[in-house]
């Protein structure tokens, strides 16, 4: 266990899109577990739009990552050394490991990953925070019911691709909004969406009226910006807008304009509600059970976009998210043979 | 009953603030009741911010007023002729009478006004749509509970002045936002608000942080615009923003900017919800009973801003609303001796 521990640390709070100079790459000897500790070698790292807010220097729903600290990131890894009786070498675990190759852990900091249920990366996707966000956002925040018309933005992304499928499984009509014909084809052909709207082709509003002539009952929004404003003009009476994220404006260098059509909420007796998935932690098992069932029956497809690389590729891989380069959950897959 | 029926009719859909040329003043003989009908002479007319949306030519939550039609308006009047067995001459009734001196009514189109409970104008204010809007907006949409911190915008207006008092009566800390030191003094000294913020004096956000250091649990918004954006930055976790109206932007000639701080809804697990009071019609009696109790004990003060005038003064009086010229419910009081 004398391997080097590669790490990505935050060097500066980005202005706009994160630049290479906003990060430091460091190496130090991997730590050794003391009594009650075990060492995890990280094999998969989750890349999430929310990371942009963590590195902004501002407190949002979570402490910001401090300058000089290892970047916060969820991951899955393998225990390679242990002085803990309940955690054996070879065990696969998930946790908030950070953008680094090795991390020392203690009890309560990891969750065992059942790779019999699904391959490890799926536990960062449909069975991870993305799946949980879709699940609680739809059912608890959005009060999803069979027969409703549901629109999902960022529909080819990690959360959106799961949200649309859950709505379909629940018996809803599902319209996805995504960028480009390839993503749209995937939504309809592979994930069973009823329709997909390519926002890059323009006139989202006209397409929405065509595909949801009676209005949108539930809008699961991962994007914000102009798409949110368009969907607000197409709400059904009593609609719920679930604010899951706003990837369109995370890198804005100026205050992004707000949804100027928000008064549609009044006309349509509608609501717009934000949520933070960590608030549902005590109910994760309930959601995991249902998500795993749907995966096992093949009703729910977990799309993972794996990028093979090393820790030093973390900053560049993160940008893929903001360029709309991923279909499904973006994951940095680290070597497993070292 | 050969009196002339003075009427204000919509001549054009206004652009920006309604102009005199947007209205026609007409006179015609007052109609005579046929069997089952009765004639109401209107004595009080309600003036409401929502009227601006009714004359926009766009369908919102209600049919727009058509060009050439008598302007829609709620009012209180006296029955001056009747061929209906249950409605006697001299009876005081309320209804959607329109901006006219006389109107023929049938069963179900009026509500008897109990002037023993409160004077007639109060039935257009605290005991009218304004009071009902405050009541259901706070309790049903806003889930008001004792001990919460409540902010009300347009706090010196018809709905706002009632909403703030109901929150106080319920045991909440209440901060009103209004325009000018006189209105602010009224809120604190006469209506028992805990604090008032004069938005014309600037820096609403700093004053909010001072008066609500632990955040705002419920924001009852009648105004929209910059004030909504300011309050969004001061929400407590789990806050509810109740969209009752947006008088700041009803006369905008361009699309008003939306609340650019709406992502605070996510960070604070908060909601923003619109409502239309007519949806609560079957529960009006419940609210009326409680509002009347509070008025009878003196806990709730109904502020009415009466403008004495004739039907032809309706267009000019309406503008008082948009100039912030009223404190409490704006009412056009017509002569009672003719």
Q: Report the gap between the CA of A237 and the closest CA in chain B (Å).
A: 10
Subunit contact A257:B261, Cβ cutoff 8 A: no
| Chain A residue numbers touching B249 (CB-CB < 8 A) | 263
- Partner A contacted by B274 (CB < 8 A): yes
> How many Å apart are CA B12 and CA B310, to the nearest integer?
21
Subunit contact B266:A246, Cβ cutoff 8 A: yes
212-271 of A, contacting B, C-beta below 8 A:
224, 229, 243-246, 249, 255-271
> How many Å apart are CA B124 and CA B303, to the nearest integer?
11
> How many Å apart are CA B76 and CA B93, to the nearest integer?
6
Structure tokens at A246: 């706003």
DSSP state of A123: G
Shortest CB distance from B260 goes to which of A258, A268, A272?
A258
Subunit contact A275:B269, Cβ cutoff 8 A: yes
Buried b / exposed e along B210-224 (16+ C-beta atoms within 10 A):
ebbeebbbbbbbbbb
A-B Cβ pairs (cutoff 8 Å, strict): 99
pLDDT of residue A1: 46
Is A315:A46 a contact under the CB 8 Å cutoff? no
Structure tokens at B290: 């409680």
SS3 B324: coil
Q: Report the gap between the CA of B104 and the closest CA in chain A (Å).
A: 30
SS3 B181: helix
Q: Distance of alpha carbon B144 from its chain centroid, rounded?
A: 20
- Is it the case that residue B2 has pLDDT exceeding 70? no
Residue A37, C-beta contacts closer than 8 angstroms, at least 6 positions apart: A82, A83, A84, A104, A105, A106
Hey, which residues does B40 pair with through a beta bridge?
A: B79, B103
- Residue B261's alpha-carbon distances to A246, A259, B166, in angstroms, are 12, 10, 28
Taking CA–CA distances from A247, the nearest residue in chain B reads B263
- Taking phi over 0 as left and psi of -120 to 50 as alpha, with beta for the rest, B270 belongs to beta
Q: Report the gap between the CA of B189 and the closest CA in chain A (Å).
A: 32
Q: Phi then psi for B136, rounded to 5 degrees?
A: -75, -30
Subunit contact B249:A263, Cβ cutoff 8 A: yes
Buried b / exposed e along A192-228 (16+ C-beta atoms within 10 A):
ebbbbbbbeeeebbebbeebbeebbbbbbbbbbbebb
Q: Report the gap between the CA of A72 and the closest CA in chain B (Å).
A: 18
Three-state helix/strand/coil letters over B47-59: CCCCHHHHCCCCC
pLDDT of residue B338: 61
Subunit contact A279:B269, Cβ cutoff 8 A: yes
Is A147:A141 a contact under the CB 8 Å cutoff? no
| Chain B residue numbers touching A239 (CB-CB < 8 A) | none
Structure tokens at B322: 């948009």
Q: Report residue B3's pLDDT band, with 50, 70 and 90 as the boundaries.
A: confident
For B277-285, the CB contacts below 8 A with 24+ separation are: B277/B129, B277/B132, B277/B133, B277/B136, B277/B137, B278/B61, B278/B62, B279/A269, B280/B132, B280/B136, B280/B140, B283/B136, B284/B132
pLDDT mean over B279-289: 95
Shortest CB distance from B274 goes to which of A255, A267, A276?
A267
> How many Å apart are CA A144 and CA B94, to the nearest integer?
41
Q: Distance of alpha carbon A95 from its chain centroid, rounded?
A: 15
SS3 A198: strand
Query: Most B CBs within 10 Å: which of A243, A244, A275, A277, as the mutation test of the B interface?
Result: A243
Q: For the purposes of burial, counting CB atoms within 10 Å of the CB of B35, is it exposed (0-12), middle (13-18) or buried (19 or more)? A: exposed
> How many Å apart are CA A243 and CA B266, to the nearest integer?
6
- Residue B30's alpha-carbon distances to A21, A40, A213, B33, B44, in angstroms, are 80, 89, 45, 10, 17
| Chain B residue numbers touching A251 (CB-CB < 8 A) | none
> How many Å apart are CA B29 and CA A188, to the nearest integer?
65
Subunit contact B275:A256, Cβ cutoff 8 A: no
Closest CA to B64 of B47, B51, B46: B51
Shortest CB distance from A246 goes to which of B243, B263, B268?
B263
> How many Å apart are CA B245 and CA B261, to the nearest integer?
18
Taking CA–CA distances from A240, the nearest residue in chain B reads B273
| Chain A residue numbers touching B263 (CB-CB < 8 A) | 224, 243, 246, 249, 274
| Chain B residue numbers touching A229 (CB-CB < 8 A) | 258
Query: Most B CBs within 10 Å: which of A205, A266, A277, A279, as the mutation test of the B interface?
Result: A266
Q: E strands along chain A, which residues?
A: 4-10, 23-29, 38-46, 75-82, 92-95, 102-105, 110-112, 149-153, 173-178, 195-198, 216-221, 235-243, 271-274, 304-308, 329-333
Mean pLDDT of chain B: 94
Shortest CB distance from B258 goes to which of A61, A259, A279?
A259
Would you write out chain A's pLDDT as a tens digit for each of its 338 residues? 458 999 999 999 999 999 999 999 999 999 999 999 999 999 999 999 889 999 999 888 889 999 999 999 999 999 999 999 999 999 999 999 999 999 999 989 999 999 988 999 999 999 999 999 999 999 999 999 999 999 999 999 999 999 999 999 999 999 999 999 999 999 999 999 999 999 999 899 999 999 999 999 999 999 999 999 999 999 999 999 999 988 877 777 777 789 999 999 999 999 999 999 999 999 999 999 999 999 999 999 999 999 999 999 999 999 999 888 888 999 999 998 76
Shortest CB distance from A266 goes to which of B257, B265, B274?
B274
What is the complex's ipTM, to 2 decimals? 0.89
Q: Report the gap between the CA of B249 and the closest CA in chain A (Å).
A: 10
> How many Å apart are CA A199 and CA B260, to the nearest integer?
22
pLDDT digits (tens, 9 = 90+) for B49-82: 899 999 999 888 889 999 999 999 999 999 999 9
Q: Report the gap between the CA of A258 and the closest CA in chain B (Å).
A: 4
Subunit contact A266:B275, Cβ cutoff 8 A: yes
Subunit contact B262:A265, Cβ cutoff 8 A: no
Closest CA to B193 of B182, B201, B204, B185: B185
Shortest CB distance from A260 goes to which of B243, B258, B269?
B258
Closest CA to B318 of B17, B13, B10, B9: B17
pLDDT of residue B1: 46
Helix (H), strand (E) at residue B110: strand B110-112
All domains of chain B, ordered by start, with CATH? 4-122+303-333 (3.90.180.10), 129-278 (3.40.50.720)
> How many Å apart are CA B246 and CA B220, to the nearest integer?
11
pLDDT of residue A256: 79
């Amino acid at each position: 266990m004398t391997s080097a521990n590669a790490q990505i640390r935050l060097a500066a709070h980005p202005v706009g899109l994160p630049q290479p100079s906003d990060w430091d790459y460091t190496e130090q000897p991997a730590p050794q577990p003391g009594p009650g500790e075990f060492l995890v070698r990280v094999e998969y790292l989750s890349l999430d739009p929310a990371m942009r807010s963590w590195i902004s220097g501002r407190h949002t729903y979570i402490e910001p990552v401090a300058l000089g600290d290892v970047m916060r990131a969820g991951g899955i890894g393998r225990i390679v050394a242990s002085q803990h009786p309940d955690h054996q070498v070879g065990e696969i675990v998930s946790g908030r490991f950070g953008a680094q190759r090795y991390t020392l852990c203690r009890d309560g900091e990891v969750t065992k990953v059942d790779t019999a249920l699904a391959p490890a990366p799926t536990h960062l996707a449909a069975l991870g925070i993305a799946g949980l966000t879709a699940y609680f956002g739809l059912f608890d925040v959005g009060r999803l019911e069979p027969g409703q018309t549901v629109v999902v933005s960022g529909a080819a992304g990690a959360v959106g691709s799961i949200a649309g499928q859950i709505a379909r499984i629940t018996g809803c009509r599902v319209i996805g909004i995504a960028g480009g014909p390839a993503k749209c084809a995937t939504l309809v052909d592979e994930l069973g969406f009823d329709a997909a709207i390519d926002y890059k082709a323009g006139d989202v509003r006209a397409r929405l009226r065509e595909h949801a002539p009676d209005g949108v009952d539930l809008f699961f929004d991962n994007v914000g910006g102009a798409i949110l404003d368009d969907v607000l003009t197409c709400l059904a009476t009593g609609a719920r807008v679930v604010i899951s994220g706003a990837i369109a404006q995370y890198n804005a260098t100026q205050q992004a304009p707000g949804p100027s059509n928000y008064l549609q909420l009044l006309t349509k007796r509608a609501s717009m509600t934000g949520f933070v998935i960590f608030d549902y932690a005590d109910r994760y098992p309930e959601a995991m059970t249902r998500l795993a069932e749907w995966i096992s029956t093949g009703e729910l497809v977990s799309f993972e976009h794996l990028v093979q690389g090393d820790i030093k590729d973390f900053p560049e891989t993160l940008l893929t998210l903001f360029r709309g380069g991923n279909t499904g959950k973006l994951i940095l897959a680290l070597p497993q043979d070292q």
